[in-house]
Structure 1
Amino acid sequence: MDLPPLSKDQLSAVLTSSRSPTELFNTLVEYEYEACLKSTPNSNESELLSLFYSTFFFAHLLTDQIYEARAMTQRMPQDLAQTDPSLQNCLILLRAVWQRKYESVYKILRELPWPDRLRPAVESYETYFQEKTLREVSRAYEAIRPAAAANYLGLDTAAAEQGDPAIIQKFTAVGWTWDGNKKLLHPKPLPPALGKDVRLYDEVSEIMALVGKYGG
């Protein structure tokens, strides 16, 4: 069945009705050619294109396609990428995710201005990023200071350092244990990951050049 024409309302509907990030991504793939056709010089569709490419960007992140997200930012209209606030924010976020700057990722998601229509994707990615990071930390550490653990999840590090029960409970609720005497959290052991995420990190210089060009 053919999809409805690309529009802001249709993008919002796709974003809220998709049953999984993969479904969202696959639907937006089907719309990319139409978006490309609208990406003409002096196009009056800049608001629609901004929403499409921003949503498509988050669909890449939600399906853990970081390298592919970088490639997508090169396909979108470059004049729009240089001037549109949402796409600028996406490029800033891409840099922080690529560099694994956890505190910056949460700050960007929570504090930079995002359009209301894009909010579901932004909030979904924050949750996804927290859960993914929690798994990575669980595999990397046998014991960790509360402030360090809180930093990975975008929580209040100062409160965590003081042993705030509300923050400690966020970890113990997922199976971690708390040693109050040593002031250490012990992650719940997880089985090794089935495969390593090989996302061509040797391309980091290219992505930094891209963000430096458009991200200010």
Structure 2
Amino acid sequence: MDVSAVQAALADKSYSAVAPLCDDLLLQGAARGVSTDDWPYAVHLLAHLYLNDLNSARFLWKSLPQQVKDARPELSAVWRIGQCLWNRDYAGVYTAAQGFEWGPELADFVTAFLESYRKRIFQLLTSAYSTITVADVAHFMGMSEEDATNYAVGNDWSLDAATKMLTVRKPKAQTNQKLDASKLQRLTECVFHLEN
């Protein structure tokens, strides 16, 4: 099966395009009865995790024959990350991702996944907390306390060094543009014209 489009997306670091591309190619191959022995299942699975599409990742994993799972250690390593995500084992995600020697095809992708995941977790922490301990941030972010503090302070949180508490700075709410009366009038006339 020709996976050059998947390899090109990986080379371009277009990681968000990989899962839909893999899904389409795999379905096309199955419709033609093409062998999937050389299919990049680990890339495909990681692509769904990158998009935070856990249901599709689980479905892909469950659809794989056991001999494929057993024969590909990288695939099993990606699945360990997926299991941690599914179980909301935040620290486990980092442990699983950093605890495997990734091949050249996946190393950059795993790094990009971790960066994306870390940003999502930081956004969740920002929306869920007004204050949080440095230790908790380090746990959720898969970092040392020093690195977690630097990351948080670098994102405009403030640190009380005595209590080791971080105060979350909420992002400013975006204000919507106001529609002036003349634009509203033109829109109303346009809709009226189209309906009549």
Unaligned runs of at least 5 residues, structure 2: 174-196
Report deviation, 1:146.
0.6
1:187 and 2:181 are equivalent in the alignment: no
Larger radius of gyration: 2
Q: For each residue in 1:76-121, what CA deviation from the matched residue of structure 2 results, as whole angstroms up to 9, or x when unmatched? A: 3332013321121122111111111122110111121322111122
Q: For each residue in 1:150-196, what CA deviation from the matched residue of structure 2 results, as whole angstroms up to 9, or x when unmatched? A: 1111111xxx2xxx4x542211111211122332101222589xxxx
Report deviation, 1:125.
0.7
1:123 to 91, 95, 111: 111
**Which has the bigger relative contact order, CA under 8 A and spacing at least 6?**
1
Q: In structure 2, how many angstroms separate the alpha carbons of the residues matched to 1:115 and 1:182?
A: 42
1:204 is matched with: none
1:33 and 2:27 are equivalent in the alignment: yes
1:13 and 2:8 are equivalent in the alignment: yes
1:57 to 28, 40, 45: 45
8 Å Cα contact 1:14-1:24 kept in structure 2: yes
Report deviation, 1:13.
2.3
Q: In structure 1, how many angstroms separate the alpha carbons of the residues matched to 2:14 and 2:82?
A: 24
Q: In structure 2, how many angstroms separate the alpha carbons of the residues matched to 1:180 and 1:189?
A: 20
1:177 to 158, 173, 185: 158
DSSP-derived class of the 2:14 partner: coil
DSSP-derived class of the 1:188 partner: coil
Q: 1:33 corresponds to which letter in structure 2?
A: L
- Normalising by the residue count of structure 2, what TM-score does the alignment of the two structures yield? 0.77
DSSP-derived class of the 2:132 partner: coil
Q: In structure 2, how many angstroms separate the alpha carbons of the residues matched to 1:191 and 1:76?
A: 45
- Normalising by the residue count of structure 1, what TM-score does the alignment of the two structures yield? 0.70
Q: For each residue in 1:104-141, what CA deviation from the matched residue of structure 2 results, as whole angstroms up to 9, or x when unmatched? A: 11011112132211112211111111001111111121
1:95 and 2:62 are equivalent in the alignment: no
1:71 is matched with: 59
Unaligned runs of at least 5 residues, structure 1: 40-44, 193-216
* Percent of residue pairs identical: 18
8 Å Cα contact 1:25-1:60 kept in structure 2: yes
2:130 to 142, 150, 153: 142
Distance 1:116 1:35, change over 3 A: farther
